Structure 1
Amino acid sequence: MSAFDGLKGKASVLRTKATDFIGQHQGQIQGGLTKAGDFADRKTGGKYAGRIDSVRRKASGFVEDVDRSNTSTGQPGSGTAQTDPSARPGTPPNSPPDPTTDPKGRPDGTSGPPRG
């Protein structure tokens, strides 16, 4: 048995613990993501609102995906994907980024911070 076999076993245990934790605390994690996004948006004066929202949506989607995979494999977890109350009304979860606010989807085809 090599040292890497021992590390693989430990990594597997840590992964299981992390996914169980996410499944058991999904609502708290989603709330924390929303609060962190709101805080960053306030501190930057809304300058990076599109980027902040994009990151929050991706992180939220990751948490939901982990919870769904826990449910499908019989692992502990709530099994219910919670919708984010701060999401834009009428926007389906994991929808493509809004080109008017997402910096990588700017109408002029460029990326990066807004010019101005």
Structure 2
Amino acid sequence: MGLLNNLRTKLDPAKGKVSDLAHQHGGKIQHGLDKAARAVDERTKGKYRDRIQTGTGKAKSAMDRLAHKNDPGPGKGDTTPPAGPPPAS
């Protein structure tokens, strides 16, 4: 387990830096993903269009999660579950 812990401690600063870069350049990254998807779709003459769109969507969503890892999403964040069962009517 020592090796994994050492690796984790060394990669944490890099993860933060990648997250910051993704946050700063999110528009450029998404534009590049769209451009690459169009190029591949043209090369394959639309044969794999659905798969390309699915993969592009997953890549964009992963990039968004990475860029906004510190921001709670809508409906997430400072919510706590109720303390007890709901009142009976």
Normalising to structure 1: TM-score of the pair?
A: 0.55
Partner of 2:14: 14
Partner of 1:59: 59
Higher Rg: 2
- Distance in 1, Cα, partners of 2:55 & 2:18: 20
Contact 2:41/2:52 (CA < 8 Å) preserved in 1?
yes
Alpha-carbon distance change, 55 to 8 in structure 1, aligned in 2, over 3 angstroms: same
Greater CA deviation, 8-17 or 22-31? Answer: 8-17
Q: Deviations over 1:4-30 (max 9, x none)?
A: 443222111111111111111100000
Q: Which has the higher contact order (CA 8 A, sep 6+)?
A: 2
The CA RMSD measured in Å over matched residues stands at 1.6
Contact 1:23/1:70 (CA < 8 Å) preserved in 2?
no
Please list every run of 5 or more consecutive structure 1 residues that lacks an aligned counterpart in the other structure.
73-116
Normalising to structure 2: TM-score of the pair?
A: 0.69
Contact 2:19/2:68 (CA < 8 Å) preserved in 1?
no
How far the C-alpha of 1:3 sits from its partner, in A, is 5.0
Report how many aligned residue pairs link the two structures. Answer: 71
Partner of 2:32: 32
Q: Identity of aligned pairs, percent?
A: 32
- Distance in 2, Cα, partners of 1:44 & 1:70: 38
Please list every run of 5 or more consecutive structure 2 residues that lacks an aligned counterpart in the other structure.
73-89
How far the C-alpha of 1:64 sits from its partner, in A, is 1.7
The code of the aligned residue for 1:41 comes to: D
Partner of 2:44: 44
